[in-house]
């Protein structure tokens, strides 16, 4: 990879998401072996980062799926989101300002709900979503650029009454990480290079994580958490 000539604060470029997760785990050591800690990954890219975090902390790993609700005709602009646990959060001010009807909001919700349920079934199978109430939730992704998906996840999690929300990423834009300090109980951005550019440039290997990889990592994490002594100490191969 060719590095841009304007970097003023150098940062470590991660080999891949697994290495990023291992380094992130070192910053979360104060949560190791603590009761009531749950690691939630934003799929798909957050799962291979969260996997070594969950192993290091001896905490269960699950996914927290968020689907943004796009403004009709301008889907890149979010008017809300739905998430794991049948939670919906809406930007009421935006909806009112743009004159979006309740029917339009419901239609967008139905469309995204189908994709959310597909991913829930694919990643989790018949297992129910985790119980968030009164848990310390460590919410992990592979990086924070604008933070829109993570922001929707935090808002949705709040509705499920966790004891504490920790946003944890290996790399993040400095201003975005700072903004989250007003939204989460704790924010851990392992590296905040300036200029930031994009999440992917801080990984040597930033290949797309597949649905199969997500499923296998969740299954492996579940086996290790249930019986850590019976599983060999290596990540599943892909």
The predicted-structure confidence for 165-194, as pLDDT tens digits, reads as follows: 999 999 999 999 999 999 999 999 999 999
If asked whether residues 203 and 157 sit together in one domain, one would say yes
Tell me the two tokens of residue 98.
Answer: 């743009």
Instruction: Name the phi and psi angles at 74, rounded to 5.
Output: -140, 60
If asked whether residues 103 and 149 sit together in one domain, one would say no
Report the number of distinct structural domains present in the chain: 2
Tell me the two tokens of residue 189.
Answer: 């951005």
Residue 6 lies in a domain: no
Which residue segment(s) compose the domain that 117 sits in?
68-124
Is residue 111 within 8 Å of 81, Cβ to Cβ?
no
CB atoms within 10 A of CB 201: 18
Residue 89 lies in a domain: yes
If asked whether residues 118 and 216 sit together in one domain, one would say no
Strand partners, 44: none
The predicted-structure confidence for 14-64, as pLDDT tens digits, reads as follows: 999 999 999 999 999 999 999 999 999 999 999 999 999 999 999 999 999
Residue 155 lies in a domain: yes
Within the chain, strands assigned E span 37-41, 61-63, 66-71, 74-83, 87-90, 136-140, 164-169, 186-189
């Amino acid at each position: 990879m060719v590095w841009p000539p304007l970097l003023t604060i150098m940062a470590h470029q991660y080999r891949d998401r697994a290495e990023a997760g291992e380094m992130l785990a070192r910053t979360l050591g104060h949560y190791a072996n603590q009761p009531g800690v749950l690691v939630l990954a934003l799929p798909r890219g957050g799962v291979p980062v969260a996997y070594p975090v969950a192993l290091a902390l001896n905490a269960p790993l699950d996914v927290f799926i968020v689907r943004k609700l796009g403004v009709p005709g301008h889907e890149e602009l979010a008017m809300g989101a739905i998430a794991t646990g049948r939670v919906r959060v809406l930007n009421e001010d935006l909806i009112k300002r743009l004159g979006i009807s309740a029917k339009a909001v419901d239609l967008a919700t139905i469309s995204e709900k189908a994709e959310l349920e597909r991913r829930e079934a694919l990643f989790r199978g018949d297992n129910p979503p985790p119980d968030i109430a009164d848990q310390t939730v460590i919410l992990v992704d592979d990086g924070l650029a604008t933070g829109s998906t993570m922001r929707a996840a935090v808002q949705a999690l709040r509705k499920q009454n966790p004891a504490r929300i920790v946003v944890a990423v290996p790399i993040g834009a400095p201003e975005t990480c700072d903004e989250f300090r007003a939204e989460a109980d704790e924010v851990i951005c392992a590296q905040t290079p300036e200029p930031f550019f994009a999440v992917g440039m801080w990984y040597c290997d930033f290949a797309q994580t597949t649905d199969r990889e997500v499923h296998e990592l969740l299954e492996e994490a579940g086996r290790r958490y249930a019986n850590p002594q019976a599983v060999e100490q290596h990540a599943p191969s892909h």
